[in-house]
Amino acid sequence: MKYAYYPGCSLETSGAAYDVSTRAVANLLNLHLVELDDWNCCGATEFFSQDELTASAVVARNLALVGPDFDQLVAPCTACYLNLKKTDHLMRGDKKMSDKINEALAAGGLNHQAGRVQVRHLLDVIHADVGEAAIRDKVVRPLNGLKVACYYGCQMVRPFNDVDDSEQPTKLDDVLAWLEAEPTHFSAKAYCCGGHMTQISEPQAFELIRRILQNAADGGADMIACLCPMCQLNLDAYQSRVNRHFHADFRMPVVYFTQLMGLAFGVERKKLGFGKEIVAAGPVLERKLRTLQQVG
Amino acid sequence: MIAMPTDQRGMAFLDEVIEEVPGGERLLHCLQCGSCSGSCPNGPDMDYTPRSIFALIAAGQREKVLSSNTMWCCVSCYACTTRCPQNIPITDVMYALKRISLREGMATGTDAPALAKTFTGLLERYGRSFELGLASRYYLFNKPLSMLKMGPLGFSMFTRGRMSLTPTRIRQLDQLHAIIEKARQLGGAT
Ligand code: SF4
Ligand code: SF4
């Protein structure tokens, strides 16, 4: 199984643990992820707030860079995923816009034929293309006893509603169950993490983060598994600020689902980016997973 | 008959918004049911909730809408969009309102436009960007005091190798610039 891989800017820095764990897990699962050569930033939500045509052309450059040997482009970041998918969708539905975008691309010697490349989120590829049997087959260190709140956030499930349910999605819960972890009841699983609001209006963002942490804690979760670097950043790096703001005492590690997959597949923790999270996951993992105390 | 306020091009505000959004004609079908406002996590902080904004747009209240903080509170969670019984692309309408408001210089009282400009500035300079570097740069240039408050957070991100000082630069930056320049000529704003 061969895919073009679009890591996105966050995975180069703040979300590096997502990138290393994705590559480690993909190797073991025979998912051949080939990084898109010279990809550019997708513009997040910021570019679309300023100029739609330019924002779309910037995104489309990435679609145009996907070589003829590939027909699928995989993105682990949900914001990148949505921008890539939305732009292709826009071009398919709006001929005039599509022509303008291609005219802009032509100035750089490129062209994108809308619909040629299918944009996929990493979780969808792992759930649908790899699937239960192949994943269970790789588990050498089952995660029994680990209670995980599976957090999806917004942009993988909305607005397209095609990969999973837009309000109560289940695919990440499935994957965690295949690793023999215990997905908890977590009704806030597709609530908004606040996005860039942490950088604009903190009190507003803090309340959004609080309700997610609270709901995960109420469901008895040991940690949160997430699938987006922005969500991870908000829930993890801002957790102590949220505690201070609300006089709360959350100590909820937030890790990427690919890190937990790697762990269950027997990969060493430091090769999966563990330790980069601000709220340490190590102590909880060691307490819950007895096998970890003997190995690494 | 009540005269509808219009923009410089003599176009009713509702039409102006519709023209700016792919699928914007759906706005004509708003039922004022309020599902969007009830779904919005940021509703309480908005000057007008999404439902009220659509009523104001229909009433031609251009200035009220464009100078409000509503669209700048929107974080693109799409909760409203998937719940709207009339399939109105609400999140895209919010993006459109941001663009019109920026163009008209009516975005005041919010830091969101500064953040957006800093972010796209980085993108144009390097072809890449990043989250926290973006924050530090943003805070450095716009809000030195917030940067100080952020200190320990930035520090712990840095020591964990999660923050760098500049983004990586793409190889074919000239190509990206040519695309951006052409797109702007073709009708994008600057
Ligand atoms: S949910 Fe849709 S129909 Fe209902 S008020 Fe909002 S925009 Fe109008
Ligand atoms: S997309 Fe924006 S307006 Fe709609 S519910 Fe989310 S924050 Fe509110």
- Judgement on whether residues A69 and A108 belong to the same structural domain of the protein: yes
Q: What tokens were used for A161? A: 């509603």
The confidence band for B19, taking pLDDT boundaries of 50, 70 and 90, is: very high
Distance (angstroms) between ligand 2 centre and the Cα of B137 equals: 27
Q: Which residue has the higher pLDDT, A141 or B4?
A: A141
Please tell me the predicted confidence (pLDDT) of residue B74: 94
A233 and A160 in a single domain? The answer is yes
Assigned domain for A127 exists: no
Give me the residue from A58, A100, A241 closest to B186, CB to CB: A100
> Which pLDDT tens digit goes with each residue over B119-130?
888 888 889 886
- pLDDT value at residue B86: 96
Question: What's the pTM value of the predicted model, to 2 decimals?
Answer: 0.93
Which pLDDT score is estimated for A270? 93
Does one domain contain both A50 and A171? no
d(CA A95, CA B128): 29
Q: Do both A157 and A288 map to the same domain?
A: yes
Identify the nearest ligand to the CA of A153 by its number.
2
Domain boundary among A121, A150, A175: A121
Q: How far is the centre of ligand 1, averaged over its atoms, from the C-alpha of B80 (Å)?
A: 8
Return the ligand 2 atom nearest residue B91 CA: 1
Q: Which residue has the higher pLDDT, A237 or B142?
A: A237
Inspect the interface and report whether the beta carbons of A154 and B161 lie closer than 8 Å: no
> Domain range holding A18?
2-121
Q: Do A280 and A204 fall into the same domain?
A: yes
Identify all chain B residues contacting A39, using CB atoms and an 8 Å cutoff. Answer: 170
Tokens of B131: 């989250």
Q: A145 and A66 in one domain?
A: no
**Higher-confidence residue: B167 or A17?**
A17
Q: Of B187 and B31, which is predicted with more confidence?
A: B31
Mutate to test the interface with B, among A18, A35, A199 (most CBs of B within 10 A): A199
ipTM above 0.90, yes or no: yes
Task: Judge whether residue B132 has pLDDT over 60.
Answer: no
Asked if the Cβ–Cβ distance from A38 to B172 is below 8 Å, we say: yes
Tokens of residue A250, six digits: 């959350």
Q: Is the pLDDT of residue B48 over 90?
A: yes
Q: Which residue's CA is the closest to the ligand 1 atom numbered 2?
A: B84
pLDDT grade, residue B144 (50/70/90)?
A: low
Query: From CA B93, how far away is CA B63, in angstroms rounded?
Result: 16
φ and ψ at A14, to 5 degrees?
-65, -25
Q: Is A257 on the interface with B (CB under 8 A)?
A: no
For position A191, which CATH number holds? 3.40.50.11810
Identify which of B133, B156, B14, B92 has the alpha carbon closest to the alpha carbon of residue A93: B92
Strand extents, DSSP E, A15-158? 32-35, 72-75, 118-121, 147-150
Q: Which of A89, A121, A153 finishes a domain?
A: A121
Reply yes or no on whether the pLDDT at B1 is more than 70.
no
pLDDT classification of B138: cutoffs 50, 70, 90: low
| Ligand with minimal distance to A208 CA | 2
Q: Of the residues B21, B36, B37, B42, which should be mutated to test ligand 2's pocket, given the most ligand atoms within 8 Å of the CB?
A: B42
Residue B129's φ and ψ, nearest 5 degrees, are -145, -170
Closest listed ligand to the CA of B79:
2
Are A287 and A159 within one domain?
yes
Q: How far is B64 from chain A (nearest CA, A)?
A: 19
- Tokens found for residue B49: 């909730």
Same domain, A145 and A282: yes
Q: How far is B58 from chain A (nearest CA, A)?
A: 22
A133 in a structural domain: no
pLDDT for position A216: 98
Domains and CATH numbers, chain B: 13-103 (1.10.1060.10), 112-187 (no CATH)
Evaluate if residue B143 carries a pLDDT over 90.
Answer: no
Note whether B76 contacts A10, CB cutoff 8 Å: no
Cβ contact (<8 Å) for A192 and B131? no
**Inter-chain residue contact B22 with A90, CB threshold 8 Å:** yes
Task: Please report the pLDDT score of residue A47 as a whole number.
Answer: 82
pLDDT score for B160: 81
Cα angle A183, A188, A191 (rounded to 5 degrees) comes to 130
Q: Write out chain A's pLDDT in tens, 296 residues.
A: 899 999 999 998 889 999 999 999 999 999 999 999 999 999 888 888 888 999 999 999 999 999 999 999 999 999 999 999 999 999 999 999 999 999 999 999 999 999 999 999 999 999 999 999 999 999 999 999 999 999 999 999 999 989 999 999 999 999 999 999 999 999 999 999 998 888 778 888 999 999 999 999 999 999 999 999 999 999 999 999 999 999 999 999 999 999 999 999 999 999 999 999 999 999 999 999 876 655 54
Answer whether B132 sits within 8 Å of A233, measured CB to CB: yes
Q: Are residues A110 and A6 in the same domain?
A: yes
Site to probe by mutation for ligand 2, drawn from B74, B81, B92 as the one with most ligand atoms within 8 Å of Cβ, is B74
**Distance between Cα B74 and ligand 1 center (Å):** 16
- Judged on CB neighbours under 10 Å (0-12, 13-18, 19+), A41 is buried
Is residue A158 located within the same domain as residue A236?
yes
Rounded mean pLDDT, B158-165:
74
Residue B189 is predicted with a pLDDT of: 47
How far is ligand 2, taken at its centre, from the CA of residue A152, in Å?
17
Smallest CA separation from ligand 1 atom 5, residue: B32
Beta partners for A34? A4
Q: Domains in chain A: how many in total?
A: 2
In whole numbers, what is the pLDDT of chain B averaged over residues?
84
Q: A78-91: buried (b, 16+ CB within 10 Å) or exposed (e) per residue?
A: bbbbbbbbbbbbbb
Is A9 within a domain? yes
Whether residue A132 is contained in a domain is answered as no
In this predicted structure, the answer to whether residue B2 has a pLDDT above a threshold of 60 is no
Q: Both A277 and A227 in a single domain?
A: yes
Q: How confident is the model at residue B151 (pLDDT cuts 50, 70, 90)?
A: low
Q: What's the pLDDT band for B162 if we cut at 50, 70, 90?
A: confident
Does A225 touch chain B if contact means CB atoms closer than 8 Å? Answer: no
**Boundary-marking domain end, from A90, A121, A152:** A121
Is the pLDDT at B190 greater than 50? The verdict is no
Both A93 and A164 in a single domain? no
Is residue A128 domain-resident? no
Contact call for residues B104 and B13 (beta carbons, < 8 A): no
Using a CB–CB cutoff of 8 Å, tell me whether A105 touches chain B. yes
- Specify the residue for token string 């990493």: A122
Residue ranges of alpha helices (H) inside chain B are: 13-20, 35-39, 50-58, 62-66, 70-73, 79-83, 90-103, 112-126, 131-142, 144-159, 173-185
Note whether residue A50 is domain-resident: yes
Name which of A49-63, A75-89, B4-18, B34-48 the model is least confident about: B4-18
Residue A239 pLDDT:
95
8 A C-beta contact, residue B74 and residue B94: yes
Contact residues of ligand 1, CB 6 A cut-off: B 30-36, 50-51, 54, 84-86, 88, 90
Q: Which residue has the tokens 């050569």?
A: A37
